Structure 1
Amino acid sequence: MTTRTARSSRGRRRGGPSHAVARGRSYQGPLWGALAALTVLGAAGFVAVDGGSSGTDVRSGPTERARSGRLGSTAPTSAPPTASASPSPRTSPTPTPDLPATGPGTFITAAGGSGEVGSGTVLRYRVDVETGINLSPTDVARQVDRILADPRGWTADGRSAFERVSSGPADFAVRVATPGTVDRICGEYGLDTGGEVNCDVGKNVMVNLRRWLLATPVYAHRVKDYRALIVNHEVGHFLGHGHVGCPGAGRPAPVMMQQIKGMYGCLPNVWPYDDRGRYVTGPAVS
């Protein structure tokens, strides 16, 4: 697989503009300040991991920096409002029970593997969990496997296939790590994740332990759905998709929308495709 440029899911380039522009997502505005806007969802439903819906307010994963998408997006119609600057990287995250602020930076790879899912180019991936955190690599791998195999996931594009491996070459790795370790690895590519968000850099889809365990206020009661959003958003960047905005009030929010910054009238959604195999997208966001 060709090496990709660095991507950031929720961060910005150090010393650069107030949002990340590396391969990944851009984050603008303090995390929890941005989340406050999400209360406008009220009783809106969302598409859940198990295919059900709920009236619970839902919010999506960490932001990333914009990249042009390989599948293409619809022409911009209206851009979401711009949020304020991202959180300071110098603000150390406050540890919560079972959530250390940083770790050793070494990883345990989940054993075993999965069969191929999807058709087209097979992308082999590992699932790694940082040493010393209270997560089972096997359990994390099962969740990631389910997300990538879901018929509403990226395999619905007809071009992408996935297979988990535990040894040998891998195209990318989904790595759950402490906030400090995520900051360090993402920072090596010039991205600022501020102890709060995820990033996609090199061959690493870095998942912040804080987000994996606590989700966000919108997804507080649907943590597993939020995990699907994290994985789908970040792997979407890996596949070449950039950020998009809300396609219209009352419509599902695209996975590649930075839902963490607000829903702008869209309904929460954690899948790239709907139940009928239609790609959920919106106007391109630079």
Structure 2
Amino acid sequence: MPAARRSPSRSARRRARSRRRRTALALGGTAALVVLGAAGFTLLGPTDGQPQDAGSTTQARPVPPVSDSPEPSKPAESSAPPQSEPSKNDPSKNDSQVVQHGSGNFTTATASSGAVGTGGTVRRYQVQVEDGINIDPKAAADAIHKVLGDKRSWISNKRDSFKLVSSGTYDFTVMIASPDTTDKICGAGGLDTKGEVNCDVGKQVVVNSKRWLTGSPQFNGTLDDYRALIVNHEVGHRIGHGHEGCPGPGKPAPAMMQQIYGLNGCTANAWPYDSNGTYLKGPSVP
């Protein structure tokens, strides 16, 4: 007869149960780790399979997207004059007179004069004012003639003379135009006046009516003096002068200095020569 099968002992049964329990726990822990690795923020319990809060230390944090937009470009430097306190005569009170966009039509001043100056080339010029910009052509022509006839103006060099004419041949025109029209005329010659400044282009000296009516925040003289600076500076270009800088702190700014951008330590001055006939020169600048 075969031998009777012996029943496992109680201790053997306990050891078998212990091995099965350790195996189940190991498998359950492995499943939990796999799910955590895949989801990144969710932990599945080994028994019921339901999500459990893993806490802030394991929860994924959204990463802000990297923008592919370029860094904003720096604004281009403007040639417009910087802001400052109004000048002594407070020309800012005349701002309401400035017409931004004129008619585009010009009236030639019915004014003429004999030549001013004692030698050199006589340059004939007309004065034209855009219609509808609150500036009288005859009054403007008289003011310009007075500037060019002043002994502190360019006639002091004994090489240039000027004659105001209203008809016939002429060498150049002094045009006073609204800011928009100034930009259009000067822009046709490749110059960007930005609605603020004047220019000399072709056969035209173009005066921005904003400057004629309000002056410059950097110039602390009278409005009449600033108008003289406009005429002397632009006519200076007409007869061959370039820009000049400040010759030194406390000295008069040259008429060929762009004083609307600041005086750099110089004092405001409208005239190329002083009352003794000395040229008020500064270092040449581009």
Q: TM-score band, normalised by the shorter chain? A: 0.5 to 0.7
CA distance in 2, matches of 1:241, 1:141: 23
Aligned to 2:71: none
Counterparts of 1:226 and 1:110 in 2: how far apart (Å)?
21
Where does 1:1-286 land on structure 2 (aligned, <5 Å)? 29=78, 31-33=80-82, 35-36=83-84, 56=88, 96-118=95-117, 119-219=119-219, 222-286=222-286
Structure 1 unaligned blocks of 5 or more: 1-17, 19-27, 40-54, 60-94
Equivalent position amino acid for 1:213 in 2 = L
The structure with the larger Rg is: 2
Match for 2:104: what amino acid?
A: G
What SS is found at the alignment partner of 1:108?
strand
Rounded Cα–Cα distance in structure 1 between residues aligned with 2:90 and 2:251: 14
The TM-score, its normalising length taken from structure 2, stands at: 0.68
How far 1:29 sits from its partner (Å)? 3.9
3-state DSSP of counterpart to 1:31? coil
Q: Amino acid of the residue matched to residue 212 of structure 1?
A: W
Secondary structure of 1:141 counterpart: helix
Moved more, 109-118 or 144-153: 109-118
Q: Deviations over 1:257-278 (max 9, x none)?
A: 1111211111111000001100
**TM-score where L is the length of structure 1:** 0.68
Q: Measure how far apart 1:229 and its partner are.
A: 0.3
Alpha-carbon distance between aligned partners in 2 of 1:154 and 1:202, rounded to the nearest angstrom: 20
- Structure with more relative contact order (C-alpha pairs < 8 Å, separation 6 or more): 1
Give the Cα–Cα distance (whole angstroms) in 2 for the partners of residues 155 and 192 of structure 1.
30
Q: Cα–Cα, structure 1 residues 112 and 216, in superposed 2: closer, same or farther, change >3 Å?
A: closer
> For residues 282 and 141 of structure 2, what CA distance do their matches in structure 1 show?
30
Q: For 1:241 and 1:149, locate their aligned partners in 2 and report how far apart those are by CA, in whole Å.
A: 18
Q: Distance in 2 between matches of 1:56 and 1:187?
A: 32
Per-residue CA deviation, residues 81-130 of structure 1 (Å, 9 max, x unaligned), is: xxxxxxxxxxxxxx953322111211101113011111210000001110
**Structure 1 residue 221 displacement after superposition:** 6.1
Q: How many residues align?
A: 208
Contact 1:214/1:220, CA 8 A, preserved across alignment: no
Name segments (4+ residues, structure 1) moved above 2 Å: 28-33, 55-59, 95-98, 218-221
Gaps of 5+ in 2: 1-75
The letter of the residue matching 2:255 is: V
In structure 2, distance between residues paired with 1:220 and 1:98: 20
Query: Percentage identity across aligned positions?
Result: 50
